[in-house]
Every structure is written in structure tokens, then in C-alpha cells.
Amino acid sequence: MSSHGNSLFLRESGQRLGRVGWLQRLQESLQQRALRTRLRLQTMTREHVLRFLRRNAFILLTVSAVVIGVSLAFALRPYQLTYRQIKYFSFPGELLMRMLQMLVLPLIVSSLVTGMASLDNKATGRMGMRAAVYYMVTTIIAVFIGILMVTIIHPGKGSKEGLHREGRIETIPTADAFMDLIRNMFPPNLVEACFKQFKTQYSTRVVTRTMVRTENGSEPGASMPPPFSVENGTSFLENVTRALGTLQEMLSFEETVPVPGSANGINALGLVVFSVAFGLVIGGMKHKGRVLRDFFDSLNEAIMRLVGIIIWYAPVGILFLIAGKILEMEDMAVLGGQLGMYTLTVIVGLFLHAGIVLPLIYFLVTHRNPFPFIGGMLQALITAMGTSSSSATLPITFRCLEEGLGVDRRITRFVLPVGATVNMDGTALYEALAAIFIAQVNNYELNLGQITTISITATAASVGAAGIPQAGLVTMVIVLTSVGLPTEDITLIIAVDWFLDRLRTMTNVLGDSIGAAVIEHLSQRELELQEAELTLPSLGKPYKSLMAQEKGASRGRGGNESAM
């Protein structure tokens, strides 16, 4: 008994010492970091400051553009500019959008083809499975956070009578929307897929049917005449008279039928499917496909150099994009009341997902501090806020991950284009939250089955949300239709959607970027095996070592990063 008591005492004291040791190690590491910071500040020279400013010029200019844009917009609001004047004012921002969208198509195709061709089928399959699991898990978590936030805060308490309506929404049956998604995966014309995507349209046709009615106006079968029999005294002449009294009537009515149609915009999903398949085939051709692989590799490099030129114009474009959107708001008072609570609920949900869940996933998988990684993505995140388009931000995202954070290009070329098309955490969270908000303002109690339906539909609909501004409003119709909520009530939230769309685009871009880092960490073994097998015959050097040398050369031009 005494030995058992001694063992318990020793175990408890060991646990206490372990906790003390952990706290002591944490305190020592913080002290060492503070000492290094103090020494760095003491030895800082003018050259160090200039080097820091040169290295972080893009980020500093972009952040300054956001601050100046917001300040300029509020300074110009009292002048009540006309819509035409606001459009003229926003023209530099429109030019940035056009420049970035110009690069999206060749960037998606070239990056996916080279990414797939540089990996063998087994490695691609494993990476694809990891990416699919990551996308599904993060999207489900985002939907759960959205439902939890709107249930706890309950922003729809009250009546919808005082809410401001804006715009109109086209109703789309859920089945047609999902069939359009599958149709767009397999475009019949690749050239047309570069600027159009399939979308079901609806037309009415007149249908004529013959209805047989009796004298009293009832249809046959409504009141059947008694069968002929001698016992009941019905004569044959009476049956003939009743038959002659039956009338035929031609009825015409309109029927809504789905017909093939199209909508302007890149069919990114179809191009992604084709590029993945094409890249896998080129990779399987080995030396026979080398010419095509080199062509797409050179195309990708050329596009990234164009991005390096356009990126210097990005702060100017972002300044005018943000200022123009604020000037377009007719009444800032719409942000108050129920709509203000709804906006706050969405912001809290997006912050929880982007600020806690995604960094936690990064930390648990890679065992590294996620916040320096997020700091390295700052320019892409601000560009996402300015453009409100994850596809338009894709060139900047590539640059931040590959050149700034050193993520393997074989990973980014596969994960980022697919993620920008199908991984929409912010959109999924927003759609689930907005659907329950609309139910609340209609005093409509949702049961567990309907909430589950919203969760599944929001997850699936976010995959089909195009990476364009306010695409979530289109897929919102699918979510509302699935539980019988009025689709016209989407107009209640359009007034603040321009702002929330920018925040959820930032969440989408961050989710794609952290996904690339997580998948790179999990795929280290496959990448190392690929390095050993994939050598360039002319140089005899592994792929990654060449990439490292190229990155080192580009960083050397920008100065030594560790000087600060």
C-alpha cells in the first residue's frame, strides 16, 4: 500500500515538474526572442531600413492603398457624385481587374498541365486525395461555424418589413443548377469555354390537350353512370342520350421548359478538368511529351513574369476599386439594425474560420507558426479584398507562395488552380449563414433535417460558385430552394454583399494557400522520390535543386532577407 502511495506521489510530482519545465522553456524562449529583437534594433542602420523597405515594398504600398482608398471615398461622399462620375473615378481599378483576368486563363491551363506532367500518376493520386480531403473538411467546418454563429447571435430577430430590398434574383431549380455544374465540367468546345459557360435558360411553350367533359361539366370518371341492367330500370335509350351529351374540349396552357443557354465568363471548372487530364497524359508519355511539357513550362514562366510587371500597378488599382465601391453605396445607414447584426455575424464567422481554424490546421499538420505564413500572404489577401475575385487574385497568390514563402511549384501548380475553382470556404459559410438568416426574418422555424439539408447543399453549391465577384448570390438560390425559403428575399442582403464578398474572398484565398502548404508538408516523401527519379538529362540535377537555385537567385536580387 505504501509503495502504491509512493508511486502516485512520484507520478504527480513528475507531472508538476513537467508543467513547470514547459512553462520555464516557454519563458526562456520568449526572453531569447526579446533579446534578439533588442540587439537587432540596437544594430539597425539606415541600410537595414532601406533593405527592409525594398523587400516589403509591395505589401507596404498595398496596405497604404487600402487606407488611402477608404479615406478618399469618405472624403468624396459629401459631394454626392453621380453614377457616371463614380464609374469614371473607378476606371483605374477596372483596368487592374482586366489585367489580372487577362492572365487567369493561360495561368490556370499552363500551371495545371506542367504540375500534372511533372508528377507520376501515383503521386498525383495521393496528392489529389489529400487535397480533396482538405477541401471537404475545411468546407464542412466553415458551414458548421456559419450555422453556429447565426443560431447563437440570431441576427434575424424581428420582421423583414424594415429591411431594404435591392436588385432582383432569378430563380433556378436545384436539379438544373447541379446538372449545369456537371455539364460545365465537360465543355464541348474548349475555345468557347475560354469566355462562356453553360447555363440553363427557360422558355415557355403552349401545350394543347383534349379534355372530355360531360354535360354537367365534370370530367369522365367523376360521376360514372350506373351500369346497364334490367333490374334497376335504366333503359338503353337513356344511356345513349347520356353518351351523346358528352363534349370534347380543347384546353391550352403554358409550360416552362429548360433550354440550352450560356453565360459570359470563363468556364474555369471545364478548363481545370481538361488541363488535369491533359497534364496526366503528357506525364505518361515520358520523353515523347517532353516538347509539350517544356512549352507549357515556358508559358507558365512567361505569365509569372508578366505578373511581376502588373503587380506594381496593383496598389493603384486596389485604391480606386475600394474607393469606388464605397462611393456607390447610396445609404450607409443600411449597415445598421438587423442588417448590421447580420454583417457582424458574417464577420465573426469568417474571422473564426480564417483566424483560428485554418491557422490551427496549419499548425497541427506542419508544427510551424502559422502567422509568419499568413504575413507572407498579406499582399494576395489585400488583392483579394480589392478585386473580390479569387480567380483574379490567382497570379498574386502564385507569386506570394512560390517566391515569397518557397512552397514547391509542383504543389502550387496543382493545388491553387483547383482550389480557386472548387474550394470556397468563405462562400460555404456565408451561404449557410445567410439562408438561416432569411429563415429567421420570415419567422420560419427550421428543424434538424432542414438545417442538415442547408449544410449539405451549401457545401455542394460552394463547389459550383465561380471565382468571380458576388458569385455566392447565384448559388444562394440553390440553398434557399432546397428548404423552400423565398428566393426573392436574397434582395434583403444585396445591400451589404459587396463588402462581405470581399471578406469571404480573402477567406477563400487563405484557405487555398494554407491548403498548398499543408499538402506540400504531407507530400514530402512523394516529392523526394520524384526528385530522385526526375532529373534533367542536360544538366543532371534534380528538379527541386534547380528550383531552389532559381529562387535563390531571385531573392539575391532583392537583398538578404535575414538581415533584418
CA distance 222 to 228: 18
Position 562 scores a pLDDT of 41
Position 249 scores a pLDDT of 58
Half-sphere exposure of 493 (CA within 13 A, CB side): 32
Q: Which of 170, 192, 203, 197 is nearest to 181 (CA)?
A: 197
Q: Which three cell numbers stand for residue 328?
A: 456607390
Position 134 scores a pLDDT of 93
> Which strand (E) or helix (H) includes residue 202?
strand 201-213
Tell me, rounded to whole angstroms, the distance of Cα 4 from its chain centroid: 58
Q: Which three cell numbers stand for residue 455?
A: 449544410
- Name the pLDDT band for 558 (thresholds 50, 70, 90): very low
Q: Which of 475, 517, 462 is nearest to 140 (CA)?
A: 462
Which residue segments constitute the domains of the chain, with CATH numbers given?
Answer: 53-197+261-529 (1.10.3860)
**Each residue's pLDDT tens digit, 407-439:** 888 888 888 888 887 888 888 898 889 888 888
Q: Which three cell numbers stand for residue 234?
A: 335504366
CA distance 161 to 169: 18
3-state secondary structure 363-418: HHHHCCCHHHHHHHCHHHHHHHHHHCCHHHHHHHHHHHHHHHCCCCHHHHHHHHHH
Q: Which three cell numbers stand for residue 256?
A: 416552362
Q: Quick check: helix, strand or coil at residue 222?
A: coil
CA distance 483 to 442: 13
Kindly report the length of the chain.
Answer: 564
**Each residue's pLDDT tens digit, 121-165:** 777 788 888 988 999 999 999 999 999 999 898 887 765 555 555
Task: List C-alpha distances in Å: 159 to 337, 430, 476.
Answer: 11, 21, 21
CA distance 209 to 197: 36
Q: Which of 516, 488, 555 is nearest to 170 (CA)?
A: 488
Position 207 scores a pLDDT of 73
Global pTM exceeds 0.75: no
Position 559 scores a pLDDT of 46
Q: Check residue 484 and give left, alpha or beta (phi > 0: left; psi -120 to 50: alpha).
A: left
